[in-house]
A and B are shown apart, each in its own frame.
Chain A
Amino acid sequence: MTSKDSEQFVQQLVNLSDGYRRTRAPEDMLSRVLRNVPQRSSSGLGLPVFAGLAATVFAALVFVYNQSSVQGRSPQKYPSFSMIKMPSRSEIKVPSTVSVPISPPSVPVLPRKPKPVEKSQTKKQILNYFVDLKERYDEINNS
């Protein structure tokens, strides 16, 4: 296909597709779109602005809290690190001998075992229950 043929062919396609280009979207397309879009805040900034404001307020609150707590503290009650006098190396006395008291080994106290329920008694109770139940059943049937 030569370039001239190609040009002619394209032109013919363009002529044939005139109707295609004349096709228009419905008149109410914009209103349809606007009806269906999710709601947005009027400023358009929405979440970022809210987040920024919240962060600023939080930072201000933290600052005010810190200030008030620093002012309310008495230096005697909460001395700063610079006020604490650390003993010098020479002031620290280390005893020459260290005596460790030796206590006699303690006898371990074992936890008491719970008193086992007598099996025979339990069995007897269950048996009595069923006997009683059967008697009642018989009584109802007989009456």
Chain B
Amino acid sequence: MVAEWQIDEQLVRRFQGGDQRAFEDFVKRHQDRIFRLCATFVRPEVDPADACQEVFVRAYTGLPRFRFRAKPFTWLYGTAKNVCRELNRKVKSVSLGSGDLPELAAHPQFMETDLTFVRRLVSELPERQRDVVILRIFEDLSVAETAKALGIRAGTVKAHLHKALRNLMVTLKKLGIEESDYD
């Protein structure tokens, strides 16, 4: 069975060989995940679809020079974070919560409470813990897949996850969500 990252590498190699269709397949494979990441990271004034589009435009220009030192999704994930950071910087009018993440208000485009909830949670976490929680818990990647996506060891993923869970409990208490509310 071919692993997810191996399919990505094959697509990128085909694209580097001039196969336009491979790039389209690559976009289709990752567009939902990258869109959700962008929706989590951008401020409410920024359209996550614009951010997502910019990520793939950069992929189009960057992947021909990709050297496979990391997994293609790791590279894409890093690009998504950079793009969101740049777009957030452009709309400085709104004050920030912690780091460069948006305040607790829900994104106007997504009234789903779950997305707001995710945004609330990750805004309180340090960057690496945030990455692990998003990929491992919210994107439902395995520990090994998360490790490969972030370019770190599986043990490091577990350690970050453990710390993140402790911090999340504290955050949930701050937000006024008690254990009884989970069920």
Contacts and interface: CB of A to CB of B under 8 A. Distances in A.
A23 B115 contact: yes
Contacts of B17: 44
B7 interface: no
Which range holds the interface residue count of chain B? Answer: 35 or more
Nearest to B59: A33
Contacts of B16: 44
Nearest to B27: A30
A83 to B, nearest CB: 55
Interface residues of A, number: 31
Interface string A1-38: 10000100110111111111111111001101110111
A111 to B, nearest CB: 66
Contacts of A32: 49, 53
A16 B182 contact: yes
B115 A19 contact: yes
Contacts of A143: none
B140 A19 contact: no
A36 B57 contact: yes
A95 to B, nearest CB: 72
B164 to A, nearest CB: 10
A140 interface: no
A19 B112 contact: yes
A46 to B, nearest CB: 9
Interface stretch (B32-40, B73-81, B89-97, B148-156): B32-40
Interface in B135-183: 137-140, 162, 165-166, 168-169, 182-183
B96 to A, nearest CB: 21
B114 A19 contact: yes
18 contacts: A1-B169, A9-B168, A14-B137, A17-B117, A20-B115, A23-B35, A23-B36, A23-B39, A29-B49, A32-B53, A33-B27, A37-B57, A37-B60, A43-B18, A44-B15, A44-B16, A44-B18, A44-B19
